[in-house]
Amino acid sequence: MNTLGCFALALQVQEDIAPIAGTGNIVELLLQTHPVNQVVFALLLLSSIVSWVIIFLKYSLFRKVDQQTVQFFDVFRRSSKFSEVQEACPSLSESPLVGVFQAGYAEMNSQFHLTKNSESQSSVSSGTPMLKSLDAVDRALIRAAASEISKLERRLTFLATTASAAPFIGLFGTVWGIMIAFQRIGVTGSTNLAVVAPGISEALIATAAGLLAAIPAVYSYNYFTNRLKGFSSNVDDFMLEFLNIAERNFT
């Protein structure tokens, strides 16, 4: 009788700790989780995919910007005329210096055109065109520089948003999962590990998903922001060099 009683007790314990189907597979666990947590996982997955697409696109773009900026500086410093630099601009369009140069060059040409018209009306000829306002050229360069840097900054705000929001979204999923786990405990009236563990697993997966989405985003955002500082410094140096040449030769 004692043996039979022990055997029956063992069967009862096994029934109490029978694992819930799918708890050994994360995918199955996600499919069985609460709809709110499924929405959280889907949102984090979408954010992570978009972040990685932006990371690869920006990395490729910044490599081109680096290469073409070096090439543009070489062309600009070797050329004796701005018109020669203008001819090379279409092949180096990824560099922000190209947009800045073209804005300054266009402003200079417009001033030369006005000067030429005024000289023709007064019957005065001059061998070298003169700038009417160096400050106007400076303003044109500043506007173009801001526009070019803004182009390079596009979509980086999404990385910053993902980096800051994803952990909190994951935390929300965790809190929701724990609430569901406690509800299951209340319904079953059991604190057995087989009852508690699935809900806790669902909750912790949400936190892990939030971190997996946030960590690459914050690292990449800081990396690209640092690169942008370098590009901005190059643009500032080029503007000063452009203005020095313009002031030296056309004023």
Average pLDDT of the segment spanning 28-39: 73
Q: What is the pLDDT of residues 105-128, one digit of tens each?
A: 999 988 877 666 555 444 444 556
Q: How would residue 103 be classed by pLDDT, with cut points 50, 70 and 90?
A: very high
pLDDT over 60 (residue 238): yes
Interatomic CA distance for residues 47 and 36, integer angstroms:
17
Q: Which long-range contacts (CB under 8 A, 24 or more apart) does 27-31 make?
A: 29/198, 29/201, 29/202, 29/205, 30/202, 30/205
Average pLDDT over all residues of the chain: 81
- Of 249, 216, 26, the C-alpha closest to 134 is 249
pLDDT at 215 (0 to 100): 95
Q: How would residue 11 be classed by pLDDT, with cut points 50, 70 and 90?
A: very low
Average pLDDT of the segment spanning 198-206: 77
| Confidence (pTM) | 0.77
Q: How would residue 29 be classed by pLDDT, with cut points 50, 70 and 90?
A: low
With 0-12 / 13-18 / 19 or more C-beta atoms within 10 angstroms meaning exposed / middle / buried, residue 117 is exposed
Average pLDDT of the segment spanning 221-237: 95
Q: What is the pLDDT of residues 44-69, one digit of tens each?
A: 999 999 999 999 999 999 999 999 99
Conformation bin of residue 163: beta by default, left when phi > 0, alpha when psi is -120 to 50: alpha
Q: How would residue 18 be classed by pLDDT, with cut points 50, 70 and 90?
A: very low
pLDDT at 51 (0 to 100): 96
pLDDT over 50 (residue 12): no
pLDDT over 90 (residue 225): yes
Structure tokens at 113: 């055109």
